[in-house]
Amino acid sequence: MNKAIELKGLTKKFGNKTAVDHIDLDVNEGEIFGLLGVNGAGKTTTIRMLTGLSLPTEGNAKVLGLDLKSELDKIKMMVNVSTQETAIAGNLTVEENLKFIAGIYGVEASLFEERLEDIYTSLELGEVRDQRSKTLSGGWQRRLSIAMALITGPKLIFLDEPTLGLDVLARRELWRFVKKLKGKVTIVLTTHYLDEAEALCDTIAVMAKGHVLAVGTADELKRSVNKGTLEDAFVEIVGGEKK
Amino acid sequence: MRALVFTSRNIKELLRNPLSYIFCLGLPLVMLIVMTLINASIPKPEISAEAEAFIDTSAIKATTVFNIDKLTPGIAVFGMTFIMLFCCISVSSDRSSSFLTRLYASPMKSTDFIVGYTLPFAIIAAGQFIITYIAGEIISLIVNGESLNIGYMLLGLPLAVPSMILFIGIGIFFGTLLNDKAAPGICSVFITAAAILGGIWMDIEAMGDAWVTICSCLPFYHSVKYARCILAGDFGGMVLPLTVTAIFALVIFAASALLFAHKSKADK
């Protein structure tokens, strides 16, 4: 299987603090890959490096076969991100937001219309297409934020804590939409919700204190520490790091 | 192309904010009308040549800043301080939300951002300038029964570009430097400074050499002065303050562009 991402000793230091410490990871094309960890584990910093928002202190990565350090501009054209906080233009309508981000990525008009219809169908945003985005509920705004990432036709999409701050119904709705994307686009999502990682991810990497402690499917992680639930397995894996 | 897409978004955001109409268009018009009414209520003493030889008449003459030919360019420049305020709020709000983070991860370059923030506010500033001058012309016809010089008014618009760049540059600078809570407060200081030190409400020359020296160190006084010179047809008097304003504008705008580029890569 082709690799969408290959991390080789990727490291990020802020002064004396090491946020991400020499991590090696592979993400397969078309899968939903979860970075699971508590706050401060290094998940968001890893995504920031892979999206060009932050330069690695050491190590390197290949994203979609391109070198992160020397071919960032090409990578940016094929990758999109939905950030932790909802990143939308509040005074623009849903459709204007989508048109705006498509314009930034140079999406042709005919392709935009095609993708727009797909997104309206899959993310059910059609009913609020003319509504100012600041008037949408949190769940709808998050959905729009993901739609803005998808409208550019990325091969790889990063979802940073996509359900943070959403109520349980909105979370479940969003899970449904993310599952629909499986196989169409490679997704890397960060979360500290264990149920979310188990429900959505093909592969999960458990991170703590900037290290990757374990990688595998939810079942593989459970078996690796002989636990019945992902929560117990996570506590065991991360607890092992603390010891 | 990306810069124009970003420009279009910023124009829409600005036009859909009701406060921008109140501050950018309404307030300059209200001030023009109110100051004209105040001026009309001030008694105009007759000063004889003998009296001028014995008393300092500068304070009396200072009231001429409220005459419509002086007031209109002054208010037009003062109106740009509100453009500065909105530009500052716009940049700092985008930075405070994760909207800019998303755009930093996109193929947009720093120049796209700077152009995208500058163009919409330059267009609004030009609109504000035109409306202020049309209002000035109407008031002049009503109050004085005579027209302002239309040719000089038309010339004033392209020559106002350095002032527009100056105030937009200040807005981008502080919008980049400060968060959305602190940015409006700092802009208020600049609005007040521009009003007092720019000589919009008072004749700076009548206040003594020390005051002129202080005001000359800042761009506002020069900006107001050259705008008034243009409307008066005093092209000789216009050159120096226009040059000084243009230099201030270039330096401040370049500083704001560099600061924005630096901040966008702050943790790299």
Q: What is the DSSP string of A3-57?
A: EEEEEEEEEEEETTEEEEEEEEEEEETT-EEEEE-STTSSHHHHHHHHTTSS--S
Q: How many structural domains are present in chain B?
A: 1
Cα distance from B93 to chain A (closest Cα, Å)?
11
> Domain for residue B52, yes or no?
no
State both tokens at B257.
Answer: 């562009």
Token pair listed for B245: 């304003």
Percent of chain B residues past pLDDT 90, beyond the cut: 51
Tell me the average pLDDT across B11-21: 87
Would you call B107 and A86 a contact, using CB atoms and an 8 Å cutoff?
no
The predicted structure's pLDDT at residue B55: 65
Tens digits of per-residue pLDDT, B85-116?
Answer: 999 999 998 888 888 888 999 999 989 999 99
* pLDDT class of B58 with cuts at 50, 70, 90: low
Identity of the highest mean pLDDT range in A129-133, A174-178, B260-264: A129-133
Nearest chain B residue to A102 by CA distance is: B5
A216, containing H or E segment: strand A211-216
Please give the residue range of the domain that contains residue B256. Answer: 2-38+62-267
Cα A43 to chain centroid distance, Å, stands at 10
Would residue B152 count as lying in a domain?
A: yes
Is residue A84 within 8 A of residue A145, CB to CB? The reply is no
Q: CA B34, CA B26: separation in Å to the nearest integer?
A: 12
| CB burial readout A75-88, b (16+ within 10 A) else e | bbbbbbbbbbbbbb
Q: What single-letter DSSP state applies at residue A89?
A: -
Average pLDDT rounded to a whole number, residues A186-213 = 91
Cα distance between residue B69 and residue B71, in whole Å? 6
Between CA A141 and CA A133 the distance in angstroms is 7
CB contact at 8 A, A174 and A163: yes
- A122: helix, coil or strand? helix
Q: How far is B101 from chain A (nearest CA, A)?
A: 8
B15-44 average pLDDT score: 83
The pLDDT of residue B171 is 95
Are residues A54 and B17, on separate chains, in Cβ contact within 8 Å?
Answer: no
More confident residue, B53 or A79: A79
Nearest-10 Cα torsion for B153, B158, B164, B166: -120
pTM for the whole thing? 0.84
Within a domain: residue B31?
Answer: yes
User: What pLDDT shows up at residue B183?
Assistant: 87
List pLDDT tens digits, range A81-119.
Answer: 988 777 889 899 999 999 999 999 999 999 999 999 888
The nearest CA of chain A is from the CA of B41 a distance in Å of 44
Residues A134 and A91: beta-carbon distance below 8 Å: yes
Residues of A within 8 A of B104 (CB-CB) are: 52-53
pLDDT band at A240 (very low <50, low <70, confident <90, very high): low
| Closest C-alpha among B222, B8, B4, B52 to residue A89 | B8
In B, minimum Cα distance to A152 occurs at B106
Q: Which residues contact B94 (CB under 8 A, 6 or more apart)?
A: B100
* Distance, CA of A155 to CA of A186 (rounded, Å): 6
pLDDT digits (tens, 9 = 90+) for B154-163: 999 999 999 9
Return phi, psi of residue A230, to 5°. -65, -35
Q: What is the mean pLDDT of chain B?
A: 87
State residue B267's pLDDT score.
47
* R_g of chain B computed on alpha carbons: 20
* Contact criterion met (CB below 8 Å) for B117 and B127: no
Mean per-residue pLDDT, A217-223? 93
**Can you read off the two tokens belonging to residue B237?**
């008097």
Indicate whether B43 belongs to any domain: no
CB contact under 8 A, A104 and B267: no
pLDDT at B44 over 70: no
3-state DSSP: chain B helix, strand, coil percent, rounded to 5?
80, 0, 20
ipTM of this model?
0.87
Contact assessment for residue B222 and residue B229, using Cβ atoms and an 8 Å cutoff: no
> Which of B102, B113, B180 to mutate to test binding with chain A, by most A CBs within 10 Å of its CB?
B102
